[in-house]
């Protein structure tokens, strides 16, 4: 059992029929790229087809909640709904209160979105005090949390016969 990270799944999940969206912010790009790759590769490992992993971006983490809503609704309208969305962002504390406000509001709104949209919206936002903490959590020296978010999306999109 991993101390940090999801560790073992409760059973094996088949992602072959799923369509999963990844919506990432572009701030802190090196870290974002690694998290997106971690999630993407884990989705492939669990059978999600490459063409059913839809990746889109927004400027920063603040844009993730609204972007996720619009991203999901766009595919609903086209008759090719996403079964889950993984919003990915990296917030790093600076010298103002910006970090505190954004962390709180973005986290709360991402949680609300699952209920609003009726589908799993995974919490793929790192809220770190330093660049080094973010790198460690993005597979750049430590465990890649993006992989856990990919697994969480597959489990949540499969488990409750949504
Ligand atoms: N976006 C992030 O995704 N991560 C950050 O660490 C981050 N830091 C920011 C710091 C400041 C002072 C400002 C003004 C914006 C920051 N943003 C960050 C961008 C923010 O999420 C958003 O894209 C912009 O504020 C435009 O709405």
Using alpha carbons only, give the angle 2, 4, 10 rounded to the nearest 5 degrees.
50
* Ligand 1 pocket, residue 128 CB under 6 Å: no
State yes or no: is 4 an active-site residue.
no
Closest ligand 1 atom to 63 CA: 23
Q: Cα–Cα distance between 38 and 31 in angstroms, integer? A: 11
**Can you list the domains of the chain with their CATH numbers?**
20-159 (3.40.50.960)
* Ligand 1 pocket, residue 93 CB under 6 Å: no
Tens of pLDDT, residues 118-153: 999 999 999 999 999 999 999 999 999 999 999 999
Tens of pLDDT, residues 44-86: 999 999 999 999 999 999 999 999 999 999 999 999 999 999 9
Question: What is the C-alpha end-to-end distance of the chain, expressed in Å?
Answer: 28
């Amino acid at each position: 059992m991993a101390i940090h990270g999801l560790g073992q799944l409760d059973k094996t999940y088949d992602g072959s029929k799923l369509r999963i969206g990844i919506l990432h912010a572009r701030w802190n790009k090196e870290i974002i790229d690694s998290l997106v790759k971690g999630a993407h590769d884990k989705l492939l490992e669990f059978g999600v087809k490459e063409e059913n992993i839809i990746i889109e971006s927004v400027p920063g983490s603040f844009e993730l909640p609204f972007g996720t809503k619009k991203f999901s609704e766009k595919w609903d309208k086209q008759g090719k709904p996403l079964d889950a969305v993984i919003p990915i962002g990296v917030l790093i504390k600076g010298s103002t209160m910006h970090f505190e406000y954004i962390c709180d509001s973005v986290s709360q709104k991402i949680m609300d979105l699952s209920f609003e949209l009726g589908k799993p919206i995974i919490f793929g936002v790192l809220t770190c005090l330093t660049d080094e903490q973010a790198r460690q959590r993005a597979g750049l020296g430590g465990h890649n949390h993006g992989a856990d978010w990919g697994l969480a999306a597959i489990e949540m999109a499969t488990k409750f016969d949504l």
